[in-house]
Amino acid sequence: MRILIVEDEPLIARALREGLEAEGYAVDVSDRGDDGLWRATEHAYDAIVLDVMLPGMNGYVVCRELREKGINTPIMMLTAKDGDYDQAEGLDTGADDYMTKPFSLVVLLARLRALLRRGPAERPATLTAGDLSLDPADRVCRRGDDEIELTPREFSLLRYLMHRAGEPVSKQDLIEHVWAGDELDASVVQVYVGYLRRKIDEPYGRAAIETIRGIGYRLNASGG
């Protein structure tokens, strides 16, 4: 059994490595999100312990990118207590379990064993809003029976909006989740929403992506 730890705090990373090695696991440690994503893509791990706040790329984005690549390795997220990030969100991005810091190593090891027994996660479910559908596993978007070709960025953007269908989503949220919090002008979000509308709405005379003035956007849960 080979486990990947993605954690930038050296003391926590070391404690995890020692705890896991003592139980006979082979362990790799990465201290950056982007590097962790690369490792998890290039090598087959049996489980990943993934911190949320990481340099390079945050843990939610790492998790979502892995799931979008069809990599269903069980993921245990490490979330900060009272942080800006919440656990439900972690699970939404495709994590299998989470622990809040500070955590007990004994409890973490027990839950990790449970994850390993359970094996890889199910395929992510297809998202739907009326006749608009998005299959994250096959990366297919459809309006009715029409298959719509989306770029990876458009796909992530629509996926996040569909995930939160019916709710207002701020541009800042989109920058954080779709662009991994890169320094970005909010006008870029607007440009991408425009691209999406020209693909999923305009040809069908629909308006699934609504603009909410002063906030951002909302995906109409009935598909527009």
Residue showing the smallest CB distance to Ca ion in the complex:
53
Give the span between the Cα atoms of 143 and 55, in whole angstroms: 37
Shortest separation between residue 54's beta carbon and Ca ion, angstroms: 5
Q: How far is the CB of 8 from Ca ion (least distance, A)?
A: 5
For residue 81, the minimal CB distance to Ca ion (Å) is: 12
Least Cβ distance, residue 213 to Ca ion (angstroms): 36
Question: CA 54, CA 166: separation in Å to the nearest integer?
Answer: 30
Sign of CA dihedral 131, 155, 124, 69: positive
User: Which CB atom, from 52 or from 157, has the smaller least distance to Ca ion?
Assistant: 52
Cβ nearer to Ca ion, comparing 53 with 109: 53
Least gap, CB of 219 to Ca ion (angstroms)? 31
Which residues in the 52-91 window bind Ca ion by CB under 5 A?
A: 53
Q: Which stretch binds Ca ion (CB under 5 A): 4-12, 33-41, 167-175, 182-190?
A: 4-12
CA R_g for the chain:
19
Our finding on whether 184 is near Ca ion (CB under 5 A) is: no
Rounded-to-integer distance, Cα 168 and Cα 102, Å: 32
* Residue among 30 and 220 whose Cβ is closer to Ca ion: 30
Overall residue count recorded for the chain in this entry: 224
SS3 state of residue 63: helix
Pairwise CA distance, residues 70 & 51, whole Å: 20
* Ranges of H-type helices in the chain: 10-22, 33-42, 59-68, 87-92, 105-118, 152-163, 171-178, 186-196
Interface positions, 14-53, toward Ca ion (CB under 5 A): 51, 53
Whether cis (ω within 30° of 0) applies to the bond prior to 55 is: no
Q: Which of 8, 28, 34, 92 binds Ca ion (CB under 5 A)?
A: 8
Please state the closest distance from residue 46 (CB atom) to Ca ion, in A: 23
7 versus 154: smaller Cβ distance to Ca ion: 7
Give contact residues for Ca ion (rule: CB under 5 A): 8, 51, 53
